[in-house]
């Protein structure tokens, strides 16, 4: 036990975001924002089907990692890597040998490496507060271990940002002696999750993992530096049946100790292009979330997706939330990265209903991606719906399984390979280290499809727009169209060269072949509203897609209506309207504007989305606040559909 447990000091100082404390990137400035962190990397998973852990799996994983060096990157000082790491099962035999602590049986204690400040006084204060926080969650910190490290080979950038490393060991507290009975609920891992989230949000302590099943060793390192930096990984007593490794290349951003991968449950190669919307929706759902996992006082757990973290980290945090709320991790992955089911005409109806139902709960996290994942027992991999990132696997005659973003990460004897293949879009590669077998994709899908009466749940909650009663058709005079075109800034060029040819021929106009005009935000005159909104992505690593030619794997469908409790594993009552495209006509709008619930009570309300022309900035902000209060009051009255209208705009009121 280290001196960390003999904490003496005052309350923790103002919280410093660990992504800033232990990173080499600057603060947000100008057009740069650390929230736009993306990466493009190499990853691999190594596991055995023999059922017994061994150090050979660690060795194989580290060899695979070193062979992914070309997928990572190095800083200008040569010795600072963009990131490398290894995720394994808890090495119980190793921990019992190296710590002088009375550890409970395997699986009954949680362990994780804490990234702490280098300043001793601040570190002691943080430890003391963390231990008190653990008691509030029904946990006891058994003790701490200083993690041996060798920083002699790392570069100045990595060393300047390097944290102090200490392993924490926790167990469930004696329930009868707790003063905080109400907040001490859930399993060991659920409590550890709450403790970790609170510790990061309130204290600034960062854990790459804190679990009873897995542990992550990672850092701002190159692939060759990871093992010598963490001597633990060379110890023969460090045994596991699975290992996931990752070599990080920061596509257009800066490296950081916390942003290195693997994360708590995944290793990701690619980008989540929709991450901004995904984060916003996760934040919007917080008020609807309810589960034992969250405990009695969840505000210190929010936001679920940590500000300043990468797209991969946000994905991992959302997947972890779904898993700890009671879903298998494999199901959580398929909720977040569904296969292209919308236009799959031969798909099993029950499986289609599985995807359709979950599309009402959570939107897809979309973008080029190959993701390896594990819950500590099962390890698997999935691709994005288009298969824009590669993943291949090999199985040998002695039960060794290797999955990687490329061929050749391990020098396997071709004669020993009994099975090999590639992970295809829509397919899930999954193996169970306890059962000692590969779970076939057909079996996985069958288990998803048969788990609940998805078709019944969809029919009870999903409303097709064509099934809503027809409303009076309103014909608007042609002059009103010209007024709205002028209001929103349409020009003769856009009407004649772009919109006109598309409307008359259905083909892409010549005017769409390129533009040399300034981006909208820098233009001298106001532009169309749509010009200010573009998809953000790392252009160098994203291939172009044609939604017409690739219609089997693309979709513009959306769901509108009330959201339910994302964390509920039972049926969620939230009647939503399904739209094939987000653009509707006046008759369809009239249907939505007059929708009624099962008691024949109107649940839609029109809100005038207008502000007074000539308003000051503060008046404009106040108008937005007034609109929000108006909508909030309507929701409290039972309204579930809001129509934000610009129809009443005039010379005094602008949209």
Q: Which residues are catalytic?
A: 41
Contact (CB, 8 A) for 110 and 186: no
Query: Which DSSP category does 29 fall into?
Result: B
- Strands 641-645 vs 604-608: parallel, antiparallel or unpaired: parallel
Question: In angstroms, what CA-CA distances link 325 with 211, 301, 566, 606?
Answer: 15, 14, 9, 36
Helices 311-324 and 188-198, packing angle to 10 deg? 140
Q: Which residues pair with 428 in a beta bridge?
A: 382
d(CA 490, CA 469): 34
Local structure of 43: helix, strand or coil: strand
d(CA 384, CA 403): 16
Contact (CB, 8 A) for 638 and 599: no
Contact (CB, 8 A) for 130 and 160: no
Contact (CB, 8 A) for 292 and 190: yes
d(CA 259, CA 306): 11
CA angle 103, 107, 113 (to 5 degrees): 70
Q: How far apart are the first and last CA of the chain?
A: 64
Question: In angstroms, what CA-CA distances link 357 with 265, 362, 566, 578, 581?
Answer: 24, 9, 12, 11, 18
Length, in residues, of the chain: 655
DSSP letters spanning 463-525: EEGGGSPP----PPPHHHHHHHHHHTT--HHIIIIIIHHHHHH-S--GGGS---SPPGGG-SS
Structure-token match 């700890």, residue found: 324
Could you tell me which residues come within 8 angstroms of residue 19 by beta carbon, excluding any fewer than 6 positions away? 34, 206, 256, 258, 259, 306, 308, 309
d(CA 208, CA 494): 51
Is 286 exposed, middle or buried, given 0-12, 13-18 or 19+ CB atoms closer than 10 A?
A: middle
């Amino acid at each position: 036990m280290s001196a960390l447990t003999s904490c003496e000091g005052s309350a923790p100082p103002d919280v410093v975001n660990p992504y800033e404390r232990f990173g080499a990137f600057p603060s947000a400035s100008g057009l740069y924002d650390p929230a736009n962190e993306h990466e493009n990397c190499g990853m691999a998973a190594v596991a055995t089907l023999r059922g017994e852990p061994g150090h050979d799996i660690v060795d194989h994983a580290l060899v695979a990692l070193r062979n992914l060096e070309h997928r990572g990157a190095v800083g200008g000082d040569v010795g600072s890597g963009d990131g490398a790491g290894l995720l394994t099962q808890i090495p119980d035999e190793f921990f019992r040998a190296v710590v002088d602590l009375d550890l409970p049986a395997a699986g009954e204690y949680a362990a994780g490496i804490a990234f702490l400040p280098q300043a001793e006084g601040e570190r002691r204060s943080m430890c003391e507060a963390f231990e008190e926080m653990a008691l509030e969650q029904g946990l006891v910190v058994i003790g701490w271990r200083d993690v041996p490290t060798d920083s002699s080979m790392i570069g100045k950038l990595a060393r300047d940002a390097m944290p102090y490393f200490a392993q924490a060991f926790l167990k469930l507290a004696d329930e009868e002696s707790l003063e905080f009975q109400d907040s001490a609920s859930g399993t060991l891992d659920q409590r550890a999750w709450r403790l970790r989230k609170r510790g990061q949000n309130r204290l600034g302590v960062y854990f790459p993992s804190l679990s009873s099943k897995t542990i992550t060793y990672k850092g701002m390192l190159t692939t060759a530096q990871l093992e010598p930096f963490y001597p633990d990984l060379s110890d023969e007593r460090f045994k596991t049946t699975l290992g996931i490794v990752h070599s990080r290349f920061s596509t257009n951003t800066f490296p950081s100790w916390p942003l290195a991968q693997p994360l708590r449950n995944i290793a990701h190669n690619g980008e989540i292009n929709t991450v901004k919307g995904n984060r916003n929706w996760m934040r919007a759902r917080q008020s609807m979330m309810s589960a034992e996992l969250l405990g009695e006082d969840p505000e210190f757990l929010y936001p679920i997706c940590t500000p300043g973290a990468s797209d991969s980290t946000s994905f991992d945090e959302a997947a972890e939330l779904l898993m700890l709320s009671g879903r298998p991790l494999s199901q959580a992955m398929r909720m977040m990265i569904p296969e292209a089911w919308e236009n799959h005409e031969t798909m099993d109806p029950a499986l289609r209903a599985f995807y359709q139902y979950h599309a009402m709960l959570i939107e897809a996290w979309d973008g080029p991606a190959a993701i390896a994942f594990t819950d500590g027992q099962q390890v698997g991999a999935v691709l994005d719906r288009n298969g824009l990132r590669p993943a291949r696997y090999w199985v040998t005659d002695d039960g060794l399984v290797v999955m990687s973003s490329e061929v050749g990460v391990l020098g396997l004897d071709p004669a020993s390979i009994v099975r090999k293949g590639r992970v295809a879009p829509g397919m899930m590669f999954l193996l169970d280290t306890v059962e000692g077998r590969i779970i076939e994709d057909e079996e996985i899908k069958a288990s998803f499809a048969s788990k609940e009466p998805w078709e019944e749940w969809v029919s009870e909650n999903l409303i097709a727009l064509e099934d809503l009663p027809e409303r009076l058709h309103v014909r608007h005079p042609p002059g009103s169209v010209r007024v709205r075109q002028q209001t929103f800034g349409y020009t003769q060029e856009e009407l004649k060269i772009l919109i006109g040819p598309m409307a008359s021929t259905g083909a892409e106009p010549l005017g769409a072949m390129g533009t040399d005009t300034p981006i909208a935000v820098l233009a001298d005159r106001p532009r169309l509203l749509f010009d200010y909104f573009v998809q953000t992505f790392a252009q160098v690593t994203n291939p172009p897609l044609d939604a017409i030619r690739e219609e089997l794997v693309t979709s513009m469908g959306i769901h509108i209506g009330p959201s339910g409790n994302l964390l509920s594993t039972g049926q969620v009552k939230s009647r939503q309207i399904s739209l094939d495209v987000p653009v509707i006509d006046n008759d369809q709008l009239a249907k939505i504007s007059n929708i009624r619930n099962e008691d024949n009570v109107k649940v839609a309300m029109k809100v005038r989305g207008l502000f007074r022309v000539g308003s000051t900035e503060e008046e404009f902000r106040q108008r937005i606040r007034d609109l929000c209060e108006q909508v909030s009051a309507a929701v409290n009255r039972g309204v579930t559909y809001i129509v934000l209208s610009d129809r009443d705009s005039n010379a005094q009121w602008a949209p």
